[in-house]
Amino acid sequence: MTATSAASMAIQCEGITKVYPHFQLNNVNLSVEEGSVMGFVGPNGAGKSTTLRIIMGLIAQDSGSVTVLGNAMPEQQIAAKRDIGFVSEDMRLYDSQSIGFHMEFIRSIFDSWDDNYAGQLLKRFDLVKNQKVKGLSHGQRVKACLMLVLARRPKLLVFDEPTTGLDPVARHEVLDEMISTMEDETRSILFSSHNTLDVEQISDHITFIYDGNIVDSRDKESFLDGWRRLRLEIKDTPQLFDFPGIKDVQQSGHLAAVTVSDFNDQLLRQVESTGHKLLGTERMTLEEIFLTSVQYARGVSQ
Amino acid sequence: MNINFILSQSDGRAMYLQIMEQIEQRVAIGDWPPGTKLPSIRALAISLRVSVITVKRAYLELERMGVIVTQQGKGSWINDSLDLLSLQRQELDGALQKTAELAKTLSLSKEEILLLLNPYFE
Amino acid sequence: MSQSIVRQLVVKDLMIMRNFVMLYWLGGFLSVAFVVLASGEVASTIGSILFIAAMAGAGVHALFQTIVEEKIKMNLPFIMSLPVTVREYTSAKLIANLLIFGSVWLTLSAASFVVFVGDDGMPVGSMPFLSIVLVGILAAYTVMLTITVVTASQGYAIFATVLGNLGLQALLWYIADLYPVRSFIGGNEAVWNTTVVSILCIFIAAIVGMLVLAVVLQFRKKDFI
């Protein structure tokens, strides 16, 4: 999957480092092409939220450069945030006020606010304008935050765990709205999620982060194509597995399941040349790919 | 143009393959005859609620196979000179060849293969 | 453009606080009315207590509601995702709080001088000390404001409130005991001697200093969180 060479980047992070007493982001590189969806996957504490906050200019990086919509962050964050819609899991609206209060507030700040679209979103998300925020369920609250962001049609959406904790119906509604923003090819989405199914479905590119380091970053099809589980029957000749990209080996008796991350025809020939019998290859789900990557990264760091 | 593809994430096969199959089926049935203009990659991605890159890949593969034709700025359409039958025949030949190879590695005879085929024809 | 953001943030805080602010204004006016209309030592003492309570209430409540609560109730990421930096945010908080407290303080202070009016009114000799009390309250408030804005922490805000209130009381007792002050309270002449004027100047310097400190400390911050 080749990218157009002149594609502009909505987000470009190079060599981001941030040091905290008990955690550190190391040399993080992350790029989101304009018009694409980037899924950001990692376990809790891996550095997803920190990275997203650095991208939003809320935290200043210790070193490295961040450019968002052409703006250097955090210096030009005001200009950048005019066109970014940010929703995070730890975000709350004002309890004592109504959804309508927040809509008025946002409208007073953003010229791009579309009242009609906001009304449509209220209906679609099944929200009541006059309802006070404190009476909303978790799912309704997330949808309200989303509506406030979507109604001003920002060029870039940055979502930290947008579907976490939502019931299936709400999740479906949120994903639907996220996808429909992609109708405009100048808009981009960066979202972090635990839900690998969602990431697998709507992402063009996927980045794995673990323990403050980027573990892997490819376009989705490359991930799903490149990772395979090879089922082998081990011959008694002690020819070890000597092909590149082995991420995991599960062996029981003469059967082995070898997980590789860079599967191609050449690899297939190399496998055949080891003398072991290839019983079959299986594609893996993003969840399995992610778990194996993390396991491998953990093993490597030890 | 009615885009009512049924796609499944729990289906073992890749999403882009499912999309290709749905398009090929419509061509085979005659719903999408040669010359039919296909929706833009982006439009199809949105209506199917999948990523653009997946649809892009499906279109690229279909183009490679000769099922569709894409022109920069004009979009994509079902190949006017499409011979779907011979394409499918090609695919069948490839599958048969693969089956024979596997049968040999598993030391299965032709008769045993025929037996194995039975359940699939029920 | 960023000026209007500050304005919208201020308006937002004022709107959220408006019910309580109205209650404090009401309480304040009632206390002044009480002092003016009722007679006797007890009445005026009760009145002054209510008066100070209204001012302190408005000030402290706003500090907690607009700054501490915003952090505790996780409203901060919502605000931070808007086109603002720490600077606009700080400016908006300072302005909103000074408006809320300041408006109550200003009107009640002005109203309080009513007590000197008329033959039945308080002896004018108490005017300098009353001025010291009022400006002292404002100074104590700016200390609380600065500590709250800079730390945005519930613990420190509570500490600042206690410090501000008790510290001011202690200070005022001390000042009331000073010979150049005490000797003229209750007298028939308003004496603005050096002591009184110096105390007022120190308070005003503290007010300005605190606000400048808040701005300097906040504007240096690079992380919102």
In this structure, what are the phi and psi dihedrals at residue A281, rounded to the nearest 5 degrees? -125, 150
Going by the DSSP 8-state scheme, the letter that residue C225 receives in this structure is -
Average pLDDT of every residue of chain B: 85
- What residue ranges in A52-123 does DSSP mark as E strands? 63-68, 71-73, 84-88
Q: Say yes or no: B62 and B34 in one domain.
A: yes
Q: Say yes or no: B20 and B72 in one domain.
A: yes
Judging by beta carbons within 10 Å of its beta carbon (0-12, 13-18, 19+), is residue A164 exposed, middle or buried?
A: middle
Q: Say yes or no: B36 and B71 in one domain.
A: yes
Please give the pLDDT value at position A239: 62
Res. A4 pLDDT band, cuts 50 70 90: very low
Q: Does the structure show a pLDDT above 90 at B88?
A: no
Cβ atoms of C209 and C144 within 8 Å: the answer is: no
Q: Does the structure show a pLDDT above 90 at A276?
A: no
Looking at the domain assignment, is residue B4 inside a domain?
A: no
Q: Does the structure show a pLDDT above 90 at B29?
A: no
Q: Does the structure show a pLDDT above 70 at C9?
A: yes
Please give the pLDDT value at position C120: 66
Residue where the block lists tokens 């890949």:
B57
Contact A283 B12 (CB under 8 A): yes
Show which of residues 202-231 on chain A sit within 8 Å of chain B, judged by CB atoms: 202-205, 219-221, 224-225
Q: Say yes or no: A88 and A192 in one domain.
A: yes
Please give the pLDDT value at position A13: 96
Cβ atoms of B32 and B76 within 8 Å: the answer is: no
Contact A96 C82 (CB under 8 A): no
Integer Cα distance of C156 and C149 in angstroms = 10
C225–A contact, CB cutoff 8 A: yes
Question: By mean pLDDT, which of A50-59, A70-79, B71-80, C45-54 is the weakest?
Answer: C45-54
In this structure, what are the phi and psi dihedrals at residue C138, rounded to the nearest 5 degrees? -60, -40
The fraction of chain B above a pLDDT of 90, given in percent, is: 27
Looking at the domain assignment, is residue B6 inside a domain?
A: no
Q: Say yes or no: A124 and A243 in one domain.
A: no
Arithmetic mean of pLDDT, B49-54: 92
Q: b/e for C49-64, b at 16 or more Cβ within 10 A? A: ebbbebbbbbbbbbbb
Q: Say yes or no: A29 and A162 in one domain.
A: yes
Q: Say yes or no: A191 and A98 in one domain.
A: yes
Q: Does the structure show a pLDDT above 50 at C167?
A: yes
Arithmetic mean of pLDDT, C17-27: 88
Q: Say yes or no: A145 and A236 in one domain.
A: no
Per-residue pLDDT reduced to its tens digit, A155-179: 999 999 999 889 999 999 999 999 9
Looking at the domain assignment, is residue B10 inside a domain?
A: no
Query: Looking at beta carbons, which residues of chain A come within 8 Å of C88?
Result: 78
Res. C119 pLDDT band, cuts 50 70 90: low
Contact B51 A201 (CB under 8 A): yes
Domain range holding A92? 6-222
Going by the DSSP 8-state scheme, the letter that residue C119 receives in this structure is T
Please, which chains are in contact with A (at least 3 CB pairs closer than 8 A)? Answer: B, C
Please give the pLDDT value at position C195: 87
Question: Six-digit token pair at C197?
Answer: 């004027």
Ordered by start, the domain boundaries in chain C are 3-219
Query: Looking at beta carbons, which residues of chain B come within 8 Å of A201?
Result: 9, 49-51
Q: Does the structure show a pLDDT above 60 at A6?
A: no
CATH at A274 = 3.30.70
Q: Say yes or no: B100 and B68 in one domain.
A: no
Contact C224 A95 (CB under 8 A): no
- For chain A, the domain total comes to 2
Q: Does the structure show a pLDDT above 90 at C82?
A: yes
Q: Say yes or no: A130 and A233 in one domain.
A: no
Q: Say yes or no: A88 and A217 in one domain.
A: yes
Question: Six-digit token pair at C142?
Answer: 């700016």
Show which of residues 29-58 on chain A sit within 8 Å of chain B, judged by CB atoms: 35-37
What is the DSSP annotation of C34-78? HHHHS-SHHHHHHHHHHHHHHHHHHHHHHHIIIIIHHHHTT-HHH
Domain range holding B107? 84-121
Cβ atoms of B52 and B45 within 8 Å: the answer is: yes
Spacing of C-alpha C155 from chain mean position: 20
Q: Say yes or no: A146 and A278 in one domain.
A: no
Integer Cα distance of B118 and C3 in angstroms = 78
Looking at the domain assignment, is residue B7 inside a domain?
A: no
- For chain B, the domain total comes to 2
Question: By mean pLDDT, which of A62-71, A75-84, B81-90, C89-98 is the weakest?
Answer: B81-90
pTM: 0.87
Per-residue pLDDT reduced to its tens digit, B94-105: 888 888 888 887
In this structure, what are the phi and psi dihedrals at residue A9, rounded to the nearest 5 degrees? -100, 130
Looking at the DSSP bridge assignments, the partners of residue A68 are A11, A71
How high is the ipTM of this complex? 0.88
Contact B52 A182 (CB under 8 A): yes
Average pLDDT of every residue of chain A: 91
**By C-alpha distance, which of C130, C116, C111 is closest to C185?**
C130
CATH at A188 = 3.40.50.300
Q: Say yes or no: A39 and A72 in one domain.
A: yes
**By C-alpha distance, which of A245, A292, A288 is closest to A264?**
A245
Q: Does the structure show a pLDDT above 60 at A5?
A: no
Nearest by CB: A105 against C12, C73, C80: C12
Query: Looking at beta carbons, which residues of chain B come within 8 Å of A200?
Result: 9
Q: Does the structure show a pLDDT above 70 at C3?
A: no
Looking at the domain assignment, is residue B1 inside a domain?
A: no
Q: Does the structure show a pLDDT above 50 at C1?
A: no
The CA–CA distances, whole Å, from C22 to A96, A114, C55, C100, C134 equal 17, 34, 12, 10, 21
